[in-house]
Amino acid sequence: MRCPKAVSSAFVVTTLAILSFAAGGSASAQDSAGTVPEVDEEVLLPYVLPEAGPFHPEDIEIENSDAIAAWYRSAHADDAAEAFRHWDEDEGGIRPACSVCHSGAGFRSFHGLDGSAPGIPETPIEVGGVVDCGTCHNQNLGTVTEIAFPSGLMHPVEGVEAACMTCHQGRTAGVTVEEAIAALPDLDAPNAELRFVNPHYATAAASWLGGYGGAGYHYEGRDYYGRFFHAAPVSTCVSCHDPHSLEVAFEPCQTCHLADSPDEIRIARQSYDGSGNTGQGIRTDIANNAALLLSVIGRYADEVTGVPIIYDGGSYPYFFTDANGDGAVDQADGRPVAYASWTPRLLRAAYNWKLVTSDPGAFAHNPPYALQLLYDSIEDLSGPLGMDMADLHLLR
Ligand code: HEC
Ligand code: HEC
Ligand code: HEC
Ligand code: HEC
Ligand code: HEC
């Protein structure tokens, strides 16, 4: 849900009548949340747009108002979000490498849609731009026919998927982890040079392409499920997600799935999480195995590296040191101490765990791949812990 906006120099107030109901939506959302902050009257003015502007009001046809209203309430338009504000204090604006996915202007520059040569922009991009209309509605977008993934894969794309796949692919891949640990033959020896490898966020396209996309760390000798083709009417990003509101309508799912909500959907007749419960949605099997993997990661740190680890999802780089095992993150100079006792085995499991859990839609984007990555990571850690996989009753 969008945050209330303050009218400041960062915003311009337009008098575009067709936007009035979009803002009406955010105002009532504030009321129902009961958290209306202290704001001056002006804030509730209906026509507040980001200054970097998603569009020029005079160019917008009145028929666009539904699209605008839906987009305006979506995460793509939320110019107060960390994903668009992270660079506020940086001199010059959004770092070029980051701007590709964190602003429409950076995206256009990257693909050369703005007349520039394709590639990472040469200079920082002004903060304040969001995923604006011109990101997807761009007459040159059709010239983008393949997208490079962090694994090195060049994936052919058509239409707007060129956009979704550029930004929702994550920033690292299994090969990033492989390279980091390649020269370290002892899988259980902590190495002070190793750092957590973060897949980044909202990595839907990476999950979706599965083993073919190579986002996960693939264990030797294992086969991985490829792209999740699903079924014809739900085989592209925008066949499930409304491109403006980004929401997934549930009714179309019900033509094929008998369930009360997406969370309850299940086709698999076996239980993957050892619960034996085939009445729950496949999402629950994935969530349970992810929770199990995180606890096995904790046990491995305690027993094998000897330096307890704590995960804190709200704070980069997410994995921290708890050397005295008191359950609290160690602090040095007033800052939390990042985990620095990674072994190759621990790093690859933690990477896979973060990749699967970075995509809340993994259960719909590629459930078999998510389950395989979790299973293999648990199995790999179980060896040095002397755990018997058979006791867990998991399925791969
Ligand atoms: C390949 C595209 C891509 C690139 C490149 C990229 N990001 Fe992101 N980033 C995303 C997406 C997509 C999200 C949205 C996740 C969400 O909030 O749902 C995101 C979210 C974030 C967030 C918000 C996380 C949160 O907790 O809400 C931060 C901070 C961030 N990125 C920093 C960076 C930085 C710094 C760089 C450059 C060094 C960068 N990103 C490069 C795609 C990218
Ligand atoms: C993330 C990509 C994306 C963004 C951002 C986006 N659109 Fe769209 N838009 C699409 C796609 C894809 C379609 C085609 C939908 C279809 O074929 O069903 C579309 C369709 C439309 C349509 C046709 C009617 C409809 O709703 O299907 C209008 C009008 C429109 N967009 C206007 C806008 C405006 C105005 C903005 C900015 C406020 C915007 N769009 C932002 C992807 C996007
Ligand atoms: C220019 C980069 C970019 C493009 C192109 C893009 N996205 Fe996004 N997307 C983002 C960022 C950044 C966020 C997070 C925004 C935020 O935190 O407010 C996001 C958020 C989302 C979310 C909601 C995630 C959440 O945390 O609520 C969905 C769903 C989504 N995008 C789907 C799509 C689809 C489908 C397409 C293609 C039609 C697409 N995106 C195109 C960058 C992009
Ligand atoms: C089969 C339908 C389907 C397809 C195809 C699909 N998604 Fe999703 N997606 C979902 C569902 C269901 C969720 C979970 C939504 C929820 O829990 O709110 C989701 C979640 C997401 C999220 C996270 C939203 C959040 O709340 O953080 C993003 C981002 C996303 N999808 C982007 C994409 C992109 C990009 C593509 C194409 C590569 C895609 N999706 C293809 C159904 C689909
Ligand atoms: C045209 C029929 C059809 C529609 C519509 C459809 N699905 Fe599916 N779905 C399938 C089929 C077939 C499978 C099994 C695919 C496979 O395993 O390769 C499946 C599998 C799944 C799974 C994995 C279940 C499991 O136990 O592994 C999930 C989750 C899912 N679909 C979610 C959705 C969502 C969410 C929607 C609506 C946005 C949707 N589906 C729409 C046919 C459909």
Q: Which pLDDT tens digit goes with each residue over 215-224?
A: 999 999 999 9
Q: Is the backbone peptide bond immediately before 317 cis, with ω within 30 degrees of 0?
A: yes
Q: Is residue 270 scored above 80 in pLDDT? A: yes
Confidence category of residue 128, pLDDT binned at 50, 70, 90: confident
CB of 351 closer than 6 angstroms to any ligand 2 atom = no
Tell me how far apart the terminal alpha carbons of the chain are, to the nearest angstrom: 36
Q: Residue 211 and residue 62: Cα distance in Å, rounded?
A: 44
Nearest CA to ligand 5 atom 37: 253
Ligand 2 atom at shortest distance from the alpha carbon of 68: 38
Ligand 4 atom at shortest distance from the alpha carbon of 168: 35
pLDDT above 70 as % of the chain: 84
The Å distance, Cα 201 to ligand 1 centre, comes to: 6
Query: What average pLDDT does this structure show over 364-375?
Result: 98
CB of 384 closer than 6 angstroms to any ligand 3 atom = no
Nearest CA to ligand 4 atom 15: 361
Structure tokens at 339: 């985990």
What is the amino acid identity at position 162?
A: A
What is the amino acid identity at position 273?
A: D
Whether 86 and 200 have beta carbons less than 8 Å apart is answered as no
CB of 294 closer than 6 angstroms to any ligand 1 atom = no
Pocket test for ligand 5, best of 267, 280, 286 (most atoms within 8 A of CB): 267
Nearest CA to ligand 2 atom 5: 133
Q: Residue 290 and residue 280: Cα distance in Å, rounded?
A: 16
CB of 141 closer than 6 angstroms to any ligand 5 atom = no
Confidence category of residue 65, pLDDT binned at 50, 70, 90: confident
CB of 83 closer than 6 angstroms to any ligand 1 atom = yes
Q: Which of 5-9, 95-99, 252-256, 263-267 has the lowest mean pLDDT?
A: 5-9
Query: What average pLDDT does this structure show over 54-62?
Result: 57
Q: Residue 6 and residue 48: Cα distance in Å, rounded?
A: 9
Query: What average pLDDT does this structure show over 272-281?
Result: 97
Query: What average pLDDT does this structure show over 12-31?
Result: 33
Query: What average pLDDT does this structure show over 312-320?
Result: 95
Q: What pLDDT shows up at residue 98? A: 97
CB of 346 closer than 6 angstroms to any ligand 4 atom = no
Phi, psi dihedrals of residue 89, rounded to the nearest 5°: -90, -5
Structure tokens at 347: 């790093």
CB of 98 closer than 6 angstroms to any ligand 1 atom = yes
Residue 97's Cα: distance from chain center in Å?
Answer: 17
Phi-psi region of 148 (alpha: psi -120 to 50; beta: other; left: phi over 0): beta
Q: Residue 46 and residue 25: Cα distance in Å, rounded?
A: 10
Angle CA 101–106–112, to nearest 5: 115
The whole-chain average pLDDT of the chain stands at 88
Q: Residue 252 and residue 254: Cα distance in Å, rounded?
A: 5
CB of 317 closer than 6 angstroms to any ligand 5 atom = no
Angle CA 137–138–140, to nearest 5: 150
Nearest CA to ligand 1 atom 23: 83
Q: The tokens 């099997």 sit on which residue?
A: 285
Q: What pLDDT shows up at residue 149? A: 98
Confidence category of residue 91, pLDDT binned at 50, 70, 90: confident
CB of 205 closer than 6 angstroms to any ligand 5 atom = no
Pocket test for ligand 5, best of 234, 247, 255, 275 (most atoms within 8 A of CB): 234
Query: What average pLDDT does this structure show over 275-296?
Result: 98
Pocket test for ligand 5, best of 212, 257, 264, 371 (most atoms within 8 A of CB): 257
Nearest ligand to the CA of 1 is 3
| Tens digits of residue pLDDT in 39-56 | 444 444 344 444 444 555
Ligand 4 atom at shortest distance from the alpha carbon of 230: 1
Q: What pLDDT shows up at residue 59? A: 59
Query: What average pLDDT does this structure show over 176-203?
Result: 97
Q: Is residue 17 scored above 80 in pLDDT? A: no
Whether 121 and 96 have beta carbons less than 8 Å apart is answered as yes
